[in-house]
Structure 1
Amino acid sequence: MDGRLRYGFAAVCTLLLIIGGRLVQLQGVDHRDLAGAAAAQRVDTVTLHAMRGQIVDRDGTPLAYTSNAQDVTVDPTQVPADQRDRYALALAPVLGEEHATVMKALATKGRYAVLATALSPARAAKVTALGLHGIYTQATTQRQYPGGTTGANIVGTVHSDGSGAAGIESRYNAVLAGKDGSQTYSVDNVGNVNPSTRAVTEPARNGATVALTIDQNLQFTAQQLLDADVKKSGARGATMAALDVKTGQVLALASSGTFDARNPDTIDSDAPINPPVMAAFEPGSVQKAITFAAALQERTITPKTSLSVPWAVHMGGVKVSDAWYHPTERFTATGVLAESSNVGTLKIAEKLGPQKWLRYEQAFGVGQKTGVELPGESPGYLPPYKDWSDSTFANLPFGQGQSMTVLQLASIYQTLANDGVRVPPRVVSSVTSADGSQQKTATPKGVRAVTAQTARTVRTMLESVTLPGGTGVKAAIPGYRVAGKTGTAQQPDPNNGGRYSDSMYWDTFAGMVPADNPQFVIAIMVDNPAHGLEGGDVAAPLFHDLATYELQHAQVPPTGSHSTHVPLQVCAGRDRATLPANVC
């Protein structure tokens, strides 16, 4: 008996020791963890969403902003089956949905289904006014693009979760998105807020406003003119870029057929979303300005240098000819540029030599990204010298065998307009945080490509392109001095082994106004217009229309000076009466 008592007593003591040890652990060692877990069961935390920042143009006009909106949902278990038709008849016209679509949502299995997203507060109020049991509204936001297609290629769009998907929306997503906050408060055992406790709030930080350099009015006009020209010319498409001469700021960056930022379904997945910075093309003769700038800088030519120019020559095993037949004639260097002689340009390039010519191409930024703050920029293509064949230099000096975007083309002419200093283009002017602090985009350091005197001389020669006798007379603007260059580049034909086509072209024009005090440059590319139209027929008139608008819009007055006449041909010993105007 005593033995059994001893064993029982020992068992009880052991049990008490175990219980006591566990109590010590709970009250001492695990006290804080358990207290925290208990507290967590009595508090709730909600996210305070940050409002996405605006994107505005150079004048503060909103291009993208976020507004309050409401989603409409249903708990299908609270809608009797025999009432679904009545609900659908009432809801469909307010939601803007088909009756059958609403019926399908009402019949969804489970306790939650979405009937409509991002309704305006006014429309959501109409839903609430219907007084339908089981129908709820919940707060959300909606990204708005008031311009629709205007600048959509630059501004971009957002994903369904509100994050940036393209354009500035994507590149500046981190600053536009802001930072969500939170609010933590006590609740009772059924989840009701405990009014006797104070909530802990971490405020949301709304997104910043990103101000662009573009002018919405010029952007809209450019897109309208490009669309109309493509329709008229039967082209596949067209792009343009306009830059401020001194700062390199992008004033407009447009393409035909731009998608509507309000409707992502309008985006063509098979085409670049922003062709002016993503789609490279061979520029053709519009690129000759670099060859002439290099030759002037190296003192290989002057505007009046005489050259004997046949219709065609052979170089590196290929035949190079002018676009029109002519007997061997004596052109001035200005005439070679104004009348766009490939053979004459090649003769000038040969005097420079390939390596020296290549150095100037690189100085003007060819084959390099501009660094503009937009996703997916193409660097274009300038073949490395080590990869050149005997025939490479037979094409490059007049813009074949290399490629660039229309923004890079505009940058070349900005360099000439800015007295030889290339300022890399920028499209963002500032970022303003929600607290009002502003960070302005610094103007990039300029890169000198040629001297100021060389650039001014090239501009004078480029004026001859838009005067009688030149290829770009349709770009001329009455009362203003216009300097620019046409281009017509053959496209590779995929159905003919990639050889250059005799019927497919890129037509270009790039220029500046006023020529003697340039304020802006505009570059244009028209992709394969019908009927074999050339740059002077399609792109030059577009330049005229766009530049005329911007001169009036920006209130740029004429300088009052007159163009300097430079002979296009050597007329000594020739009957001037038989020659076209302005030739001599």
Structure 2
Amino acid sequence: MLRLGNPGRRISIGLIAMTFVLSIFAGRLVQLQGLDSKVYMAEAARQRVQEERIPARRGSITDVNGHELALTVEAREIFVDPYDVVPEQRDKVAAMLAAELGRPKQEIAAKLADTRKRYVPVASVEPIRAEKILKHGYKGVGSTHEYRREYPGGDLAGTLIGFVGDDGNGLSGLELQHNKVLAGRDGQQTIETGRDGQRIPMTRSTSRQPVEGRDVRLTIDRDVQWAAQKAIAEQVEATGARTGSVIVMDVRTGQVVAMANAPELDLEDWENTTEDRWVNRAVADVFEPGSTNKVITAAAALESGAVRPETVFTVDDEIRCADRVLRDSHPHPTEKLTFSGVVATSSNVGTILAARKVGDAKLHETLRRFGFGTRPGAGFYGEEAGLLPSWKDWSGSQRCTIAYGQGISVTALQTASVYQTIANGGVRVTPSIVAGTTDAGGAFVPAAEGKRTRVIGERTAREISQMLEAAVGAEGTGELASIDGYRVAGKTGTAMRYDAACQGYCGYTATFAGFAPADKPRLVVLAVIQDPRKGHYGGEIAAPVFKKVMTFALKSKKIPPTGAEPPEVRIRAGE
């Protein structure tokens, strides 16, 4: 007989199965909406909530007259979302962006090819250009608000000012040195967005407004800076030199009016420039100063009372120092020079004879008081201290060569500071480059004045000034630095140049440092040229640069001649 199934049993089995399945669903629901609800709510919120950085406007860097050397302008960052771009439109999007941005189409296409990325920056453009791009209406192309750093002068004071990176923070120069002042503080905004990135209306949002950066005003004069850069660049090229630097400094305040290097850094193209071009050589490169250093030996001799300007020295064209025979700066028969004549004619032998009357300890102390062996304290990015060995460690020959500037090393800024001290009656003012900053309200706040230190007596400074004025006269080594109508004081320098590449002395350093008007000093100008190939004497290589820059600066600052006649300075005994 045919046996029929038991419907009751089938129903029981079905109910058991359904109960089991429903219990699983119920358990999962209890887990999702009960036990793990907070976890999933937090994850959902995390996906919806987006944090956006609100960039702060970076402060400007201006010259002493308010002309902008570095400024921040509004910009838009064009980006693409490769995942969101319609596949059929990729070629059109790449062609459009390439045409609008002036970029190769292949470069844009490569950015669009990686659909794993949701945000790919393409370019930073002006707001008007961004608006034009977005009007094409392509999905996956957008823009965000940002700021862009611009340098109107291009390479004007490039190594001094420095530059900023893609994140808007300073990477070198004053941009890095004063980054905290210039950068301000970014704001932040929190919003809720949907799947496609659109903002969800009526949802929570919080924001912290950005704090704009403050402006930094320099002591640099834009016009004098331009003239200094032009003069040093032309001379470096004309002489086949490796590098060059010029510093212009205000005698009374120690403020730097110009600081130029050649070659200079183009701030609009710094990314394509080698790192050795980023260095501000005027404060970072060290070299042996040569005869420009003789003024310190002269100061030590006069301050000790062992020598007077009229003291007569019998000067041969060579002198023995320990195991070495050192020659004078130029061949000549034995002659009798006054100490003023020793400085004016830049005699190495005469300077050594004067240094012997002073002694090593006293000479070292005077070098230290003028700032050698320590950083100038001006706050320049990358400034070096140079090298001043203890007098106890001087070798037999160093006891002679240091007197005329070989065996120690300095920077251009340190040398310029020496001549500022002499021109300022023996009072050193710590060099400075920042005139002041703006406060939160935009008002200008002047920087503190440079520290003033008495280094030598006023009488000593005046006597050295007269010697330096004679050095620019007909019998001196710096005649090419003379300026019609003005009394000029200055000193040439020609030093053998140590080069690590050849592990010895290779080439020369040509320098000229001086001030004008000599009897009422207002400006110091220092010119340094490294490794010139066409000539090497400071009087013929660096003095013409001094003349060009000083002449321009005097006219630009409207500093008139004093009209006074220079005093008679006796160079040789019996004159």
Structure-1 residue corresponding to 2:55? 49
For 2:111 and 2:38, the matched residues in 1 are separated by 48
Matched to 2:284, the amino acid is M
1:510 and 2:513 equivalent?
yes
Among 222, 229, 232, the residue aligned to 1:223: 229
Change (3 A) 1:548 1:271: same
Contact 1:168–1:373 (8 Å) recurs in 2: no
Change (3 A) 1:403 1:90: same
Matched to 1:213, the amino acid is T
CA deviations over 1:488-515 (Å, ceiling 9, x no partner) = 00123668762x45xx110000000100
Structure-1 residue corresponding to 2:567? 564
For 1:104 and 1:266, the matched residues in 2 are separated by 22
What does 1:396-545 correspond to in 2, within 5 Å? 396-492=402-498, 498=504, 500-501=505-506, 504-545=507-548
For 1:199 and 1:273, the matched residues in 2 are separated by 46
Matched to 2:465, the amino acid is R
Structure-1 residue corresponding to 2:92? 86
Alpha-carbon offset, residue 554 of structure 1:
0.4
Structure-2 residue corresponding to 1:19? none
Greater mean alpha carbon deviation, residues 133-142 or residues 41-50? 41-50
For 1:552 and 1:360, the matched residues in 2 are separated by 35
For 1:384 and 1:510, the matched residues in 2 are separated by 26
Contact 1:297–1:450 (8 Å) recurs in 2: yes
1:145 and 2:151 equivalent?
yes
For 1:63 and 1:123, the matched residues in 2 are separated by 25
For 1:407 and 1:46, the matched residues in 2 are separated by 45
For 2:293 and 2:94, the matched residues in 1 are separated by 63
Matched to 1:267, the amino acid is T
1:549 and 2:552 equivalent?
yes
- 2:293 counterpart SS class: helix
For 1:228 and 1:389, the matched residues in 2 are separated by 40
Contact 1:106–1:113 (8 Å) recurs in 2: no
For 2:499 and 2:50, the matched residues in 1 are separated by 66
Contact 2:312–2:337 (8 Å) recurs in 1: yes
What does 1:315-464 correspond to in 2, within 5 Å? 315-464=321-470
For 2:112 and 2:348, the matched residues in 1 are separated by 71
For 2:87 and 2:43, the matched residues in 1 are separated by 43
Alpha-carbon offset, residue 40 of structure 1:
8.0
Matched to 1:464, the amino acid is A
For 1:409 and 1:393, the matched residues in 2 are separated by 20
CA deviations over 1:145-179 (Å, ceiling 9, x no partner) = 11111011111111221111001111111121111
Structure-2 residue corresponding to 1:16? none
For 1:51 and 1:188, the matched residues in 2 are separated by 30
Among 214, 219, 235, the residue aligned to 2:220: 214
Among 240, 245, 251, the residue aligned to 1:239: 245
1:176 and 2:179 equivalent?
no
Structure-1 residue corresponding to 2:290? 284
Greater mean alpha carbon deviation, residues 116-125 or residues 160-169? 116-125
Alpha-carbon offset, residue 63 of structure 1:
1.2
Among 294, 300, 314, the residue aligned to 1:294: 300
Query: What fraction of aligned residue pairs are identical, expressed as a percent?
Result: 39
Alpha-carbon offset, residue 108 of structure 1:
2.5
Structure-2 residue corresponding to 1:159? 165
Structure-2 residue corresponding to 1:7? none
For 1:298 and 1:32, the matched residues in 2 are separated by 85
Greater mean alpha carbon deviation, residues 264-273 or residues 387-396? 264-273
Aligned-residue CA RMSD (Å):
2.8
- 1:263 counterpart SS class: helix
Alpha-carbon offset, residue 127 of structure 1:
1.3
Alpha-carbon offset, residue 112 of structure 1:
3.1
Matched to 1:368, the amino acid is T
For 1:199 and 1:100, the matched residues in 2 are separated by 40
For 1:464 and 1:341, the matched residues in 2 are separated by 14
Contact 2:265–2:278 (8 Å) recurs in 1: no
Matched to 1:356, the amino acid is K
- 2:540 counterpart SS class: coil
Unaligned runs of 5+ in 2: 1-29
Contact 2:372–2:414 (8 Å) recurs in 1: yes
Matched to 1:451, the amino acid is G
For 1:42 and 1:489, the matched residues in 2 are separated by 69
Contact 1:522–1:547 (8 Å) recurs in 2: yes
Alpha-carbon offset, residue 449 of structure 1:
0.8
Contact 2:159–2:173 (8 Å) recurs in 1: yes
For 2:502 and 2:58, the matched residues in 1 are separated by 51
For 2:495 and 2:310, the matched residues in 1 are separated by 27
Greater mean alpha carbon deviation, residues 285-294 or residues 116-125? 116-125
CA deviations over 1:455-482 (Å, ceiling 9, x no partner) = 1111011000111011000000000000
- 2:128 counterpart SS class: helix
Contact 2:324–2:397 (8 Å) recurs in 1: yes
CA deviations over 1:348-385 (Å, ceiling 9, x no partner) = 11011111111111111111100122222110111112
For 1:321 and 1:492, the matched residues in 2 are separated by 19
For 2:541 and 2:116, the matched residues in 1 are separated by 61
Change (3 A) 1:493 1:155: closer
Contact 1:272–1:279 (8 Å) recurs in 2: no
What does 1:259-270 correspond to in 2, within 5 Å? 259-270=265-276
Change (3 A) 1:349 1:261: same
Matched to 1:478, the amino acid is D
Contact 2:159–2:278 (8 Å) recurs in 1: no
Alpha-carbon offset, residue 322 of structure 1:
0.9
Contact 1:52–1:207 (8 Å) recurs in 2: yes
Change (3 A) 1:112 1:438: same
Q: Calculate the TM-score normalised by the size of structure 2.
A: 0.88
CA deviations over 1:65-89 (Å, ceiling 9, x no partner) = 1111112222224445554333333
Change (3 A) 1:111 1:190: closer
Alpha-carbon offset, residue 196 of structure 1:
5.2
CA deviations over 1:391-427 (Å, ceiling 9, x no partner) = 2111001000011111111000000011000111011
Structure-1 residue corresponding to 2:72? 66
Structure-1 residue corresponding to 2:260? 254
Change (3 A) 1:519 1:112: same
CA deviations over 1:78-117 (Å, ceiling 9, x no partner) = 4455543333333212111012212222222324353632
Change (3 A) 1:497 1:157: closer
Structure-2 residue corresponding to 1:123? 129
Contact 1:155–1:167 (8 Å) recurs in 2: yes
Greater mean alpha carbon deviation, residues 186-195 or residues 117-126? 186-195
For 1:103 and 1:35, the matched residues in 2 are separated by 39
CA deviations over 1:162-213 (Å, ceiling 9, x no partner) = 1110011111111211112234467799987665577544221111111111
Matched to 1:52, the amino acid is R
Contact 1:156–1:166 (8 Å) recurs in 2: yes
Contact 2:185–2:212 (8 Å) recurs in 1: yes
- 2:534 counterpart SS class: helix
Contact 1:505–1:532 (8 Å) recurs in 2: no
Matched to 1:151, the amino acid is A
Q: Calculate the TM-score normalised by the size of structure 1.
A: 0.87
Matched to 2:173, the amino acid is G
